[in-house]
Structure 1
Amino acid sequence: MQDMSDTSSTFEKTSQSPLAWGADIQLAVVFLTRIPWRLNGDVPPQALNRALRAFPLVGLIVGGGSATVFGLAHFANLPDLACALLAILSAVLLTGALHEDGLADVADGFGGGQDKARKLEIMRDSRLGAYGGLALVFSLGLRTSALIGFEDWTLGAAALVGTACLSRVAPALLIYMMKPARSDGLAATMEKPAGVIICQSLGLGVALFLLCTPGMAGWITLSVCALCLLIWKAIAQKQIGGQTGDVCGASQQIIEISALLTLASLT
């Protein structure tokens, strides 16, 4: 396993060329969604480290698709609940329930394991347990109820885009701030991302979010999300001593839920 504190690599993680950004966006789309975009040539082992900066841009695709479905459902005069459920469903289909799967695995592991080894073992089990099932119910329910709570559906549509971008910064931040909880797996093989990559990811995510949210409500929501991420980091550190792919996936769900609920209460 490579040292997580070593950000040096033969792969130029900090390259700012248009080609590098294009490659990062492509890899991020392939990694985070079910969109059939075929990668060209060999992908360097640490390519995902640099592609973290493009994660918020994938939020534009997922959130944009979800917002479009939300708007079309409203134009079709469907009930508010149906509109919200269809919007969430579209995002789940676009991502292949990638983040929902991480949330369910973490809930099962943290809820059912007695020690770190057992928690990690449960998290690798593909079977869905009671804690995971409840986590999915609450995730879908809270996001749906938040969308229904917007007085104007156009604000809800904008919130879908903004929160999709912002929430995809969370995994990048956890990878940067925490050590891997396992000695194997994707998280363990990745190097610690370069600081400039994390700054670019955070800058893009925050900028896109604020473009989609009205005034002070956006800044308040950012503060709430930052607090929620720090709390989640502390929980993961206490439970398993670090981050895993599932922990990072769950963080996206936690931030998206927190952001949608906060915005719904403020707008």
Structure 2
Amino acid sequence: MHDSCIGTYGVAALILSFLLRVGALASLAEPGLVAAALIAAHAGARAVLPLFMLALPRARQDGLAASAGTPPPSRAVIAAMLGLLVLALSLGVGAALLTALLLAAVLGFMAWLAMRQIGGQTGDVLGAVEQTSEIAILLAAAALL
């Protein structure tokens, strides 16, 4: 992760990420639905990061995640609640609850993977969590709207 060069797996991940996003947005026929899905995805994916930072220890004592510190639990909960509110306003209450369950599964998987592979979270892991959460929200919006 210290090497800034992108390899074959990085390129494959970028292409898959792009295709999933475009496919999800293309399936939403109306511009209003696309706007709602984008707002939900951007706000929701960022709102879960403080909870993830709280749940996992840092893998290293240096780097971006270490310098960011650990958010206070009350603020992490407030961020998650604000994210859920934006999901509900953008997607509707029922779709927001289903999307929140999907996000919990994504966060659980990413936490398991980060602990198994590198022993905690780093700035790169946080970026991956945000991107996978955003894709999951867009896919849920495409399926539920």
| TM range, smaller chain | over 0.9
Structure ranking higher on relative contact order (CA contacts 8 Å, 6+ apart) = 2
Specify the alignment match of 1:162 in structure 2.
Answer: 40
Specify the alignment match of 1:261 in structure 2.
Answer: 139
Specify the alignment match of 1:120 in structure 2.
Answer: none
Specify the alignment match of 2:30 in structure 1.
Answer: 152
TM-score by length of structure 2 reads: 0.94
In the TM superposition, what is the alpha-carbon distance from 1:179 to its structure 2 partner?
0.8
User: Quick check: which has more Rg, 1 or 2?
Assistant: 1
SS of the residue corresponding to residue 104 of structure 2 reads: helix
* Alpha-carbon distance between aligned partners in 2 of 1:167 and 1:218, rounded to the nearest angstrom: 13
Give the structure with the larger helix fraction.
2
Q: In 2 relative to 1, CA 247–259 (structure 1 residues): closer, same or farther, beyond 3 Å? A: same
Specify the alignment match of 1:201 in structure 2.
Answer: 79
* Alpha-carbon distance between aligned partners in 2 of 1:225 and 1:189, rounded to the nearest angstrom: 26
Specify the alignment match of 1:28 in structure 2.
Answer: none
* Alpha-carbon distance between aligned partners in 2 of 1:218 and 1:199, rounded to the nearest angstrom: 17
What percentage of residue pairs aligned between the two structures are identical? 37
State whether structure 2 residue 124 is matched by structure 1 residue 246: yes
Structure 1 residue ranges (4+ consecutive) displaced by more than 3 angstroms after TM superposition: none
State whether structure 2 residue 68 is matched by structure 1 residue 184: no
Q: Which runs of 5+ in 2 are unaligned?
A: none
In the TM superposition, what is the alpha-carbon distance from 1:170 to its structure 2 partner?
2.8
Please tell me the residue identity of whatever aligns with 1:152. E
Residues 1-267 of structure 1 aligned to structure 2 (within 5 Å): 123-267=1-145
How well do the aligned residues superpose, as a CA RMSD in angstroms?
Answer: 1.3
Cα shift readout 1:55-96 (whole Å, capped 9, x = no counterpart): xxxxxxxxxxxxxxxxxxxxxxxxxxxxxxxxxxxxxxxxxx
Aligned length: 145
TM-score by length of structure 1 reads: 0.52
* Alpha-carbon distance between aligned partners in 1 of 2:50 and 2:14, rounded to the nearest angstrom: 22
SS of the residue corresponding to residue 62 of structure 2 reads: coil
CA contact (8 A) 2:43 2:86 kept: yes
Q: Which runs of 5+ in 1 are unaligned?
A: 1-122
